[in-house]
Structure 1
Amino acid sequence: MPKMKTKSSCKKRFSMTATGKVKGSQAGKQHGMIKRSNKFLRNARGTTLLSAPDAKIIKSFMPYAR
């Protein structure tokens, strides 16, 4: 049986933690910062853990990242 392929877009945008959770960057930080509040920008720094339903989808695209 051939190897399963990993989605290139997922491998660039997400990574796995040691406990198997999916880590990704915060949403809403690509453009349009002028209209966003300073509180929003502060809270959206760095990375965050995805929710369980979203993580399940991403894990299906990354078969060898578990």
Structure 2
Amino acid sequence: MRRPKGIKTKKSVAKRFKITATGKVMRSRAGRRHLLASKNAKRRRNLGTSKEVDSTDTYRIKQNLPFSR
């Protein structure tokens, strides 16, 4: 039997972004994967923290995550 089709979460977006309890969209910073020895400790620490997505992009990200807030 076929399953009825409905709205689906875009999984690639769900892995990259998190929505907070207040509705903000958070993202991780780029540059943390490799070549870390050449970056100083302060820079590596700051790359570990998450950052809020720009307000122009939040609408499109929330459209791809229908089951979040």
- Alignment TM class, shorter chain as reference: 0.7 to 0.9
How many residues align structurally? 65
Q: Deviations over 1:14-53 (max 9, x none)?
A: 2111111112222211112133233321211232221112
Partner Cα distance (1:40, 1:57) in 2: 30
Q: CA offset at residue 57 of structure 1?
A: 2.4
1:65 aligns with 2:68: yes
Structure 1 unaligned spans of 5+: none
Which has the larger share of helix? 1
Q: Whose radius of gyration is greater, 1 or 2?
A: 2
SS at match of 1:40: helix
Deviating beyond 4 angstroms after TM superposition, the runs of 4 or more aligned structure 1 residues are none
Considering only aligned residues, what root-mean-square deviation do their CA atoms show, in Å? 1.8
Identity of aligned residues (%): 38
Structure 2 unaligned spans of 5+: none
